[in-house]
Structure 1
Amino acid sequence: MIRAVLLDLVGVIHDGDIPITGAVTAVECLRKAGLPLRFVSNTTRSPRSAIIAQLAALGIEVTDEELLTPARAAVEWLRRHGRRPHLLVHPDLEVEFSGLDSGSGRAVVVGDAGEAFNHASLNRAFRELVAGADFVALATNRTFKDADGLLSLDAGAFVAGLEFASGRSPVVLGKPSPDFFHSALADLNCPAAEAVMVGDDAESDVAGALRAGLGAALLVRTGKYRPGDETRFDPPPTALVDDLAAATDWILEARRTETDPGDAL
């Protein structure tokens, strides 16, 4: 039985400040069906307040507890382990880490720093790592769909470079970490097997969700999706659908069939 839905944001609900066709209505349909939603994004350039405001401007009201980001997971990790962050993140995201300067140790935190990725900033992070700091990656996505509609390098390439140079493996806090998906469901009392993930990234969103034990993961043909993505990673998506509107139809039909198995005969 499908009891909860996890939704990626960029590439599924919106591209930049433009909602993807049918996405706002699809979210409304899922809510009207009584399905609790969690918005799970690997976005590491914007603080939570900006993400919530952006969604509100698109016509989607999201509460603080409905949104899970890698930055939020990182703050909780740093507090739990008593670490002060050395940040290699986008300048707009630094506000999320304020008030964390009293830990007993250091941790390098890497996100999508954009133009802040340069030799000097990477070398400072490298030196922190070889001096013994912990290594935390907000996400390891390979690419993202940029404002010009083309794919650009995401944080994963820079995380991999630091890992290679330092010989240290990072703790990954965003998708595809199983803990990230489980955290999204923690306050819903929903087993992973009864949740569905909808995303445009076949590796982080879809294969990651299925490896985390979610019952289904749908790959949309919007956002960063490119033909053939559905066959590139294992496990493959439960279904390939055109967009969030089609994913919503799939979810609601699956629930209807579960409620009335006779319809499936």
Structure 2
Amino acid sequence: MARIVNALAELGQYRALFCDIWGCVHNGVAPFPDAVKALRAFRKTGGVVILVSNSPRPGRSVAAQLDGMGVPRDCWDDIATSGDAAQFAMLTGEVGRRVHHIGAPKDETFFSDLSDDLKAVAANQPAITRVPLEEAEGIVCTGLFDDMTETPADYMDVLEQARARNLRLLCANPDIEVDVGERRVFCAGAIALAYDQMGGDSLYLGKPHAPIYDLARRRLAALADVTDAQTLCVGDGILTDVQGGLNQKIDTLFITSGLAAGHFGDDTANPDATLLERWILEQTLEPTWAIGHLR
């Protein structure tokens, strides 16, 4: 059974965090003050915080988004995103050179905002061209066009056409859902899951899959010499953050007040231990630690 802790500071054996963002550091609208305080305190003890996100946006774009939301830069060291890993896969032709985009205008930076190392990759590859579905060799999915009004059901016709042509779908965000303030919306992972269920071929680069952890380790290695045994994966997604940590044999801290908050009692800051144990047994995925809020 995962031990419930009251504060990150109780886990002094770790020197680095691979910390989820949405649901842990902010709620899509504003930062969580206790989380910011906890991350600042961790860094002051010499710890390194790599924010690891399933955002389809490149890390630099996510940094700008965090700035705009009021998340201070002194609570994190670097960012690794599913968007970063997916950009590399796209540029190296994993879904062809002529791609059809499923996603919102806000995700346009996926195609234009490249890090210096990815610019070098792009310079040595044939250009990626965005085309209508009927001309595409593959699909890049960053999310829904309008996640406030749409669901995956709105994309069934497009996905059926893609499946009929055996197009591969690059999923830039494996999350199924996220909470935007008090509202829960679908992500690219929900579309990719629907495509898989109809027999399509989806490629995932974010949590819980290995490429994003390889990227996070590279970002961490540039800042400090820290082993996996000294690293803690922090997040509210049992199928992403916890599963990813288990896959990589890295300890995990499960934030119970996020996506699964309704299962652990009325006091989201203090999960009911009995309810938590029962729920974890049902998931067959056991985190190392659990906490109500990151604090």
In 2, the alpha carbon distance for the partners of 1:127 and 1:151 equals 28
Report which stretch shifted further, 87-96 or 115-124.
Answer: 115-124
Per-residue deviation at 1:22?
1.0
Instruction: Give the one of 96, 112, 127 matched to 2:110.
Output: 96
> What is aligned with 1:164?
197
In 2, the alpha carbon distance for the partners of 1:204 and 1:171 equals 15
In 1, the alpha carbon distance for the partners of 2:153 and 2:282 equals 32
Instruction: Give the one of 8, 16, 21 matched to 1:4.
Output: 16
1:19-34 equivalences in 2 (<5 Å): 19-34=31-46
Is the CA contact (8 Å cut-off) linking 1:207 and 1:234 kept in structure 2?
no
What SS does structure 1 have at the residue aligned with 2:137? Answer: strand
Per-residue deviation at 1:87?
1.3
Is the CA contact (8 Å cut-off) linking 1:197 and 1:206 kept in structure 2?
yes
* Structure 1: tracts of 5 or more residues without a match: 246-265
> What is aligned with 2:55?
43
Report which stretch shifted further, 11-20 or 222-231.
Answer: 222-231
Per-residue deviation at 1:156?
3.3
Number of equivalences: 240
- Is 2:202 the counterpart of 1:143? no
Q: TM-score of the superposition, structure 1-length normalised?
A: 0.77
Per-residue deviation at 1:65?
8.1
- Is 2:164 the counterpart of 1:130? yes
Is the CA contact (8 Å cut-off) linking 1:88 and 1:121 kept in structure 2?
no
Q: TM-score of the superposition, structure 2-length normalised?
A: 0.70
Give, as a single letter, the amino acid of the residue that structure 2 aligns with 1:111.
Answer: T
Over 3 Å counting, the alpha-carbon distance change for 1:173 and 1:160 in structure 2 is same
Runs of 4+ in 1 over 4 A off after TM superposition: 46-50, 62-65, 115-122
What SS does structure 2 have at the residue aligned with 1:19? Answer: coil
In 1, the alpha carbon distance for the partners of 2:75 and 2:100 equals 29
Instruction: Give the one of 43, 53, 65 matched to 1:54.
Output: 65
What SS does structure 1 have at the residue aligned with 2:92? Answer: helix
1:228-239 equivalences in 2 (<5 Å): 228=276, 230-239=280-289
Per-residue deviation at 1:62?
7.2
In 2, the alpha carbon distance for the partners of 1:117 and 1:91 equals 17
Over 3 Å counting, the alpha-carbon distance change for 1:122 and 1:195 in structure 2 is same
In 1, the alpha carbon distance for the partners of 2:74 and 2:128 equals 26
Instruction: Give the one of 192, 203, 228 matched to 2:239.
Output: 203
* Structure 2: tracts of 5 or more residues without a match: 1-12, 113-126, 131-135, 265-275
Over 3 Å counting, the alpha-carbon distance change for 1:59 and 1:160 in structure 2 is closer
Is the CA contact (8 Å cut-off) linking 1:185 and 1:191 kept in structure 2?
no
Is the CA contact (8 Å cut-off) linking 2:253 and 2:287 kept in structure 1?
yes
Report the aligned-residue RMSD: 3.0
In 1, the alpha carbon distance for the partners of 2:139 and 2:152 equals 16
Is the CA contact (8 Å cut-off) linking 2:175 and 2:240 kept in structure 1?
yes
In 2, the alpha carbon distance for the partners of 1:154 and 1:59 equals 22
> What is aligned with 1:86?
100
Report which stretch shifted further, 12-21 or 129-138.
Answer: 129-138
Instruction: Give the one of 204, 211, 216 matched to 1:184.
Output: 216
Per-residue deviation at 1:50?
4.6
In 2, the alpha carbon distance for the partners of 1:91 and 1:65 equals 28
> What is aligned with 2:268?
none
Over 3 Å counting, the alpha-carbon distance change for 1:161 and 1:43 in structure 2 is same
Per-residue deviation at 1:118?
6.7
In 2, the alpha carbon distance for the partners of 1:158 and 1:128 equals 12
> What is aligned with 1:107?
138
Is the CA contact (8 Å cut-off) linking 2:17 and 2:50 kept in structure 1?
yes
